[in-house]
Amino acid sequence: MAVTAAPVRATPSLRNTIQRGLRTAPPTAIAAAFRLAEAEAEAAVEPEFRTAAGPFGEASRLLLLLPAALLAAAVVAARRVWAPTAPAPVAMMAVTTAEIDAKFPPLKNDGVLRAIRGQPVDRIPVWVMRQAGRYLPEYVDYTKDKEFFSRCQDPEVACTLTLQPFERYDLDAGIIFSDILVIPQALGMEVKMIKGQGPVFPEALRTREQWYKIERDLLARVGVSGIPDAEQVDHVVAHAAKLADALSYVYDAITLTRTRLNGRAPLIGFCGSPWTLFVYAVEAKKTKTYTEVSKMIFTDPEFVHRILKVMAHVCAEYLIRQVKAGAQMLQVFDSHANVLPPKQWREFSLPYLTLIAELVKKECPDIPMIVLPKDAPFALEFLTDSPYDMVSIDPTLDLGKSHAKLLAAGKGVQGNMSPTTMYAPTAKVTELVTEYLADAFGDGSEIPKRYIANLGSGMNPDMDPANLGAFVEAIHAFGKKK
């Protein structure tokens, strides 16, 4: 009888049956087990039976494959015992904001929270981006001998800087003094804030080998080693909560600041979007072309997704910890949303923004969340049915139309006066703000629902502090009977 050299293979249906039974095992382990089992079975079969169908047809083939199947199951089971698979994240008890509120002084001004929930407010609430910053002489004076990230890492300093603008303005929210780049730092990347240049990563993130090492080092921090490169990512994700411990200085700053705010206004916690953090880490310094991230998304999208997945899980855990430390609302900055064409934004940013909000809301169901897709007007329509409560819009969008659109979707709008307004003479600022609100909302006979006023990208170092005072007052005056 002619003997063919056709290798023995598990039939697809048999393979499926076993795979269904072993769904909890990682696919790579199952594939490896099958390869091993097939080789074993083939070696054990007498040569005359090694034909495509065998002398007794398909039945004998299945019979021959039984030991292979059993062996596959045994190998998978053994692997699970000897090499631990990524643990399932520990289910946490959901925490309500009321439980956290009980630990802090009562809130005297809840305007922003009421606006996010769609409750009536007696004035438009307002805060601005970079309200703690170099436009304030007291900020310059207090920080002159303190390196940028050391300010973020010292809760006393971060608290002082967050509270400084409250000495001057009747603000409706404070944002904790920190930076979006503390996450890459916490993941083990070096970030320097260089005067005149902004953030710089001395080692740009460009290769899989660099990222695998970052994952390996993160796992070593939580006592896990010996995981193959391909499987590391799931282990890192499973340990995201523990990895967020590295940012305990932010949580301490939040607790201290909320206590010292003494209920004057809610405190905002924040993080950067995974995509935005990825851009900073890969480009490494200021860029106008975004060459490196663009090359990466079009040549190795799977690798990009792997990084974004880790970032998203760590961001979510970081935000959850900020809430537990006292943050009363959260904002996610997708500051580099504009780098992506709309289709690619839907692939590389939106799913991770959504994942963050879902993970946070699972554990902190009633925490208000705002998302800022900067300079990406196309993003608005995709955020109307996202888990975010409010979208922060930039000055490229029409306030009235965006507000109506989001209101119809049960969400609110934050934004979006152009910061260039702050270069007008102080008296003119009042006029411009009144006009801008009237254009969007009419004569002011009603205070718009679900609206928080804000100022584009915020205050620049060369802006007059008096103009922010005029801005805040004019916002508050809108809709008030003269």
Residue 180 within binding range of ligand 1CP, rule CB under 6 A: yes
Q: Between residues 335 and 421, which has the closer beta carbon with respect to ligand 1CP?
A: 335
Binding residues among 370-409 for ligand 1CP as defined by CB under 6 A: 374
Q: Which residues contact 387 (CB under 8 A, 6 or more apart)?
A: 354, 357, 358, 361, 369
Binding residues among 191-250 for ligand 1CP as defined by CB under 6 A: 193, 198-199
The residue to which tokens 């003094």 are assigned: 177
Q: Between residues 158 and 236, which has the closer beta carbon with respect to ligand 1CP?
A: 158
Q: Between residues 178 and 402, which has the closer beta carbon with respect to ligand 1CP?
A: 178
Residue 169 within binding range of ligand 1CP, rule CB under 6 A: no
Q: Please, are residues 449 and 408 in contact by the beta-carbon 8 Å criterion?
A: no
Binding residues among 110-149 for ligand 1CP as defined by CB under 6 A: 129-134, 148
Which of 38, 121, 171, 177 binds ligand 1CP (CB under 6 A)? It is 177
Q: Between residues 49 and 148, which has the closer beta carbon with respect to ligand 1CP?
A: 148
Residue 175 within binding range of ligand 1CP, rule CB under 6 A: yes
Q: Which residues contact 283 (CB under 8 A, 6 or more apart)?
A: 204, 290, 291, 292, 293
- The Cα-based distances of 324 to 24, 110, 318, 465 in angstroms read 32, 18, 10, 33
Q: Please, are residues 375 and 338 in contact by the beta-carbon 8 Å criterion?
A: yes
Which of 179, 283, 317, 363 binds ligand 1CP (CB under 6 A)? It is 179
Binding residues among 262-301 for ligand 1CP as defined by CB under 6 A: 270
Distance CA 153, CA 111 (A): 30
Q: Between residues 130 and 264, which has the closer beta carbon with respect to ligand 1CP?
A: 130
Distance CA 252, CA 117 (A): 27
Nearest-approach distance from CB 446 to ligand 1CP, in angstroms = 30
Q: Between residues 178 and 232, which has the closer beta carbon with respect to ligand 1CP?
A: 178
Q: Please, are residues 7 and 52 in contact by the beta-carbon 8 Å criterion?
A: no
Which of 275, 333, 388, 471 binds ligand 1CP (CB under 6 A)? It is 333
Q: Between residues 148 and 423, which has the closer beta carbon with respect to ligand 1CP?
A: 148
Residue 157 within binding range of ligand 1CP, rule CB under 6 A: no
CA angle 9, 14, 16 (to 5 degrees): 110
Q: Is 450 left (phi over 0), alpha (psi -120 to 50) or beta?
A: left
Helix-helix angle 350-363:274-283, to 10 degrees: 130
Question: Could you list the residues that contact ligand 1CP (CB under 6 A)?
Answer: 129-134, 148, 175, 177-181, 193, 198-199, 270, 333, 335, 374, 457
